[in-house]
Amino acid sequence: MKNHWKNASIPAIDKKVGRDAQTYIHSLTKPVGSLGRLEDLAVSLASMTKERFPTVFPPGVLIFAADHGIVSEGVSAYPQEVTGQMVRNFLNGGAAINVFSKQIGAKLNIVDIGIAAEINSQTLISRKVRYGTANFLLGDAMIREEAEQAIDAGYQTANEMINNGIKCLIPGEMGIGNTTASSAVVAAVSGEEVDTLVGTGTGIEKEKLQIKKDVIEKALALRKPNGDDPVDVLSKVGGLEIAGMAGAMLAASSRSIPILVDGFIASTAALIAKMICSASADYMILGHRSAEPGHMKVIKLLGKEPILDLGMRLGEGSGAAIAFPVLQSASLMINEMATFEAAQISAKKQEGETRLVYK
């Protein structure tokens, strides 16, 4: 088995290009700093892409789908079969991510990395590692080699999208039970109390919420994942789609492609990618703040500030896709706005403000 991701070399972001972009942004026809975080995003994009005039179009939405054996413990409001049913919905164009991908002109790929059933479709990319993870209350979710294989599947699939011309990667997921796996992963890595990380996921009732917390606590005590070893954590309490997204992020960062990260599950994958190679985090931008409580802890661990906060918790890459127009606006600002000189506008500073005066 080849593990291309282990040999990946992630370049440092180019801070000089970022400074050049900042200087250029100050010359645009607007008061300095008046576009707020949009200006910061443009500088970040320039640093990531090593281009003073960065572009993020077209984006690529890459959805990894997998099942979780832990669902048999009653931690989800939906049965396991819904994973496959939703993947068929993706393939038929009926899901939220289909709508939002179309809205932003994204290339959309769906990957079977571990669905617990066979789905026959010419448009579904098959990278199946196994038919869902095992119930990690009873045993490890998967063996270490399978976790590594899933990371590699994500790495290779993302590279293929990049080779086909995408300029921004939006990883997403589908997997009933994956908020349980993500909560377990984050608890193992952070040492945080499970009670502060676990949310309602797909909308479970209070009784099931307590079951979910108890299951995670028991599983962590039994599996004893090494919080300093991301692959060990994945193999013991993680998910195949989480591993796949982590691999995809490693691929994008190795190619200097900006990564727009979705909510709790995608951010958990981002945390795994950062643990594997810390430089990968320099290419990540958080699309939104999830309503899942565990996302707050992951945001702190990633050291990022999300673009949007809409109370979303759908997954699928949907929140990141909705945030993409903001990222594109930052790119268009630096690429298309006129400078004071080009527009023949004088910039005069009065009482600490930049005022625009037409010649």
Terminal CA-to-CA distance of the chain, rounded, Å? 67
Residue 47 CA, distance from chain mean position: 19
Q: Are 329 and 54 in contact (CB under 8 A)?
A: no
Q: Is 316 a catalytic residue?
A: yes
CB-based contacts of 309, cutoff 8 Å, min separation 6? 288, 289
- Pick left, alpha or beta for residue 303 (phi over 0 → left; psi -120 to 50 → alpha; otherwise beta): left
Strand order in the sheet with 168-174: 124-126, 107-114, 59-66, 168-174, 259-261, 284-286
The torsion angle over the Cα atoms of residues 183, 189, 190 and 191, rounded to 10 degrees, is 90
Helix, strand or coil for residue 349?
strand
Residue 314 CA to residue 311 CA, distance in Å, equals: 10
Catalytic residue of the set 316, 336, 341, 351: 316
Q: Hey, which residues are catalytic here?
A: 316
